[in-house]
């Protein structure tokens, strides 16, 4: 989910050449990066709470509502690595400001949407803006701070992300209940203005010693292939089923993805996704873990607010608040879990963390129209949060340790992109739940819960089989 981001690797990779412990106007530089990142983090969780209201207002069918999420996740997943390369090539300050402005403008377009097609186009622009601003924001922190000051900056940034992730759904739900769903997008505009203004005045780029080529062909092939695959999966999971159109769309996506892999292989270390990364069994295991675990979590936390509002009669505010314990528990326990991983090694936390998540996910089987929050939601949220804290704490450092020094930036960026991709695929497969009504809604939700639990369990198995135990990588 948006509350659990892979920041350490991006910062380590970007900040290796940082010269000063603290930049001039350090607090304002940090504030600019926090405001910029909060646009992407908060928006993802807030829109989940708004799906029922958006569907009712714009007469959206289940497939259309899935695309309200996926129109944002698709460009974010496909272009995140390109956004990092563009920051290296054209300047991180410039890409940060451009991404923030694009996000702000597209948020205004979302708020003004007269129909679902307009909203989906604006959401795609939001995802593109997020793909540009996120890696640049992290890289600016890495380059602006060094030593102990960088550690404090990262800690502050992470804490702010957790707080934003916690407050966002509650605030968004209140705005929906009080004013309407359009206001959740207008909320982004003052954040964008503040981030762009501070970046324009206080952030400075270091002198770039080399001009890295940008893998445009790889980015386009990744975006188009993922688009076809997502479209095909959405149709297959919905009322259309395994139609000729759906199968043809999936086939086109698979072919284009194969072409993408061929192009990336030809480009070698200049590729957006260097295939040399996958020579490491550790990295393969971590990639599978990330895709499956964040896929399970992403699908579940699109569905939980939706089911609470549509099936259990929760207000949007209450549905947003229902998820509040997750980021709070993760934020409170991640440091202790990280220390534990440092003592016992990475393999056990990365194995048992997802297994605990799977157990917590299965507790959502208790949720029905009469179970209420304390019995049907809170126990599951707490167990899932504990499992995620155990897995997330060592994940970034182990990703970095799994590849050679030349590929640390690409490995961290790809791992972050895979987390978004997991959510993208999961959201494409939940059409049967969104289409269900009444008691059938909970039946379809419980089927999805079991699928999410299986994915989380498979993530733990992948870590156990493929990730070597390493205490040194965790310091």
Q: Is 474 helix (H, G, I), strand (E, B) or coil?
A: helix
Query: Maximum distance among all alpha carbons in the chain?
Result: 63
Cα 223 to chain centroid distance, Å, stands at: 16
Q: Which two tokens stand for residue 33?
A: 């990066």
% of the chain surpassing 70 pLDDT? 85
Tens digits of per-residue pLDDT, 333-378?
Answer: 766 776 676 677 778 889 999 999 999 999 999 998 888 889 889 9
- Spatial CA neighbour of 379 closest among 392, 360, 393: 360
For residues 44 and 72, the answer to whether their CB atoms sit within 8 Å is yes
In angstroms, the Cα distances linking 226 to 59, 234, 300, 386, 438 are 26, 12, 21, 32, 33
% of the chain surpassing 90 pLDDT? 31
Q: Residue 381 has what pLDDT?
A: 93
Whether residue 292 has pLDDT greater than 90? yes
Alpha carbons 376 and 449: distance in angstroms, whole number: 13
In angstroms, the Cα distances linking 367 to 123, 278, 305, 373, 399 are 31, 40, 12, 8, 35
Q: Residue 333 has what pLDDT?
A: 75
Whether residue 120 has pLDDT greater than 90? yes
Give, for 350, the enclosing helix (H) or strand (E): helix 347-362
Higher pLDDT, residue 282 or 405: 282
Whether residue 432 has pLDDT greater than 70? yes
Average pLDDT over residues 301-321: 90
Q: What is the CATH architecture of 278-475? A: Up-down Bundle (1.20)
Alpha carbons 27 and 154: distance in angstroms, whole number: 12
Alpha helices, H only, 91-187:
92-111, 116-144, 147-178, 183-186
- Spatial CA neighbour of 302 closest among 284, 323, 288: 323
Domain 1-214 has CATH 3.40.605.10: no
Whether residue 212 has pLDDT greater than 90? no
Whether residue 79 has pLDDT greater than 80? yes
What is the Cα gyration radius of the chain? 21
Helices 281-310 and 26-58: angle between axes, nearest 10 degrees: 50
The pTM is what? 0.83
Whether residue 74 has pLDDT greater than 90? no
Higher pLDDT, residue 134 or 124: 124
Whether residue 234 has pLDDT greater than 90? no
- Spatial CA neighbour of 20 closest among 148, 138, 139, 133: 148
Confidence of residue 81 (pLDDT cuts 50, 70, 90): confident
Q: Which two tokens stand for residue 341?
A: 């991983």
For residues 43 and 104, the answer to whether their CB atoms sit within 8 Å is no
Confidence of residue 405 (pLDDT cuts 50, 70, 90): low
Tens digits of per-residue pLDDT, 150-175?
Answer: 667 766 776 677 677 778 888 889 99
For residues 140 and 33, the answer to whether their CB atoms sit within 8 Å is yes
Handedness of CA 286, 289, 293, 298 (dihedral sign): positive
DSSP notation for 176-245: HHHT-TTHHHHTHHHHHHHHHHHHHHH--PPPPS------HHHHHHHHHHHHHHHHHHHHHHSTT-S-HH
Q: Which two tokens stand for residue 393?
A: 């704490």
For residues 450 and 377, the answer to whether their CB atoms sit within 8 Å is no
Cα 351 to chain centroid distance, Å, stands at: 21
Average pLDDT over residues 9-35: 63
Confidence of residue 396 (pLDDT cuts 50, 70, 90): low
- Spatial CA neighbour of 87 closest among 77, 75, 100, 74: 100
For residues 300 and 452, the answer to whether their CB atoms sit within 8 Å is yes
């Amino acid at each position: 989910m948006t509350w659990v981001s892979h920041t350490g690797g991006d910062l380590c990779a970007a900040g290796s050449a940082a010269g000063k412990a603290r930049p001039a106007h350090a607090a304002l530089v940090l504030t600019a990066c926090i405001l910029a990142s909060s646009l992407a983090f908060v928006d993802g969780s807030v829109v989940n709470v708004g799906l029922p209201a958006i569907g009712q207002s714009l007469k959206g069918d289940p497939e259309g509502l899935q695309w309200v999420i996926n129109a944002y996740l698709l460009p974010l997943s496909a272009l995140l690595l390109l956004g990092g390369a563009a920051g290296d090539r054209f300047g991180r300050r410039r890409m940060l400001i451009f991404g923030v402005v694009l996000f702000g403008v597209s948020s205004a377009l979302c708020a003004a949407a007269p129909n679902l097609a307009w909203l989906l186009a604006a959401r795609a622009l939001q995802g593109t803006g997020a793909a540009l601003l996120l890696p640049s924001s992290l890289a600016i922190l890495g380059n602006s701070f060094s030593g102990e000051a960088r550690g404090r900056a990262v800690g502050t940034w992470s804490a702010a992300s957790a707080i934003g992730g916690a407050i966002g759904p509650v605030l968004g739900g209140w705005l929906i209940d009080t004013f309407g769903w359009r206001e959740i997008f207008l909320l982004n505009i003052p954040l964008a203005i503040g981030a762009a203004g501070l970046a324009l005045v206080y952030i400075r780029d270091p002198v770039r010693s080399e001009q890295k080529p940008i893998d445009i062909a790889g980015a386009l092939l990744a975006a188009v292939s993922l688009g076809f695959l997502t479209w095909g999966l959405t149709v297959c999971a919905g009322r259309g089923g395994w139609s000729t159109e759906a199968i043809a769309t999936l086939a086109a996506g698979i072919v284009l993805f194969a072409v993408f892999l061929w192009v990336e292989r030809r480009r070698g270390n200049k590729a957006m996704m260097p295939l040399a990364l996958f020579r490491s069994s550790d990295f393969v295991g971590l990639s599978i873990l990330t895709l499956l675990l964040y896929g399970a979590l992403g699908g579940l936390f699109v569905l939980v607010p939706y089911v609470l509002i549509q099936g259990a009669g929760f207000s949007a505010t209450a549905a947003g608040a229902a998820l509040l314990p997750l980021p709070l528990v993760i934020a409170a326990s991640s440091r202790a879990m990280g220390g534990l991983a440092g003592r016992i090694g990475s393999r056990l936390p990365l194995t048992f963390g997802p297994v605990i998540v799977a157990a917590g996910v299965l507790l959502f089987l208790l949720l029905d129209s009469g179970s209420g929050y304390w019995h049907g939601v809170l126990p599951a949220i707490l167990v899932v949060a504990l499992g995620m804290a155990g897995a997330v704490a060592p994940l970034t450092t182990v990703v970095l340790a799994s590849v050679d020094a030349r590929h640390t930036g690409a490995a961290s960026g790809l791992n972050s992109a895979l987390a978004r991709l997991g959510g993208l695929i999961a959201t494409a497969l939940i059409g049967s739940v969104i289409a269900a009504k009444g008691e059938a809604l909970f039946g379809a939700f419980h089927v999805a819960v079991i699928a999410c639990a299986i994915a989380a369990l498979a993530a733990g198995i992948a870590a156990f089989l493929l990730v070597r135990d390493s205490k040194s990588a965790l310091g």
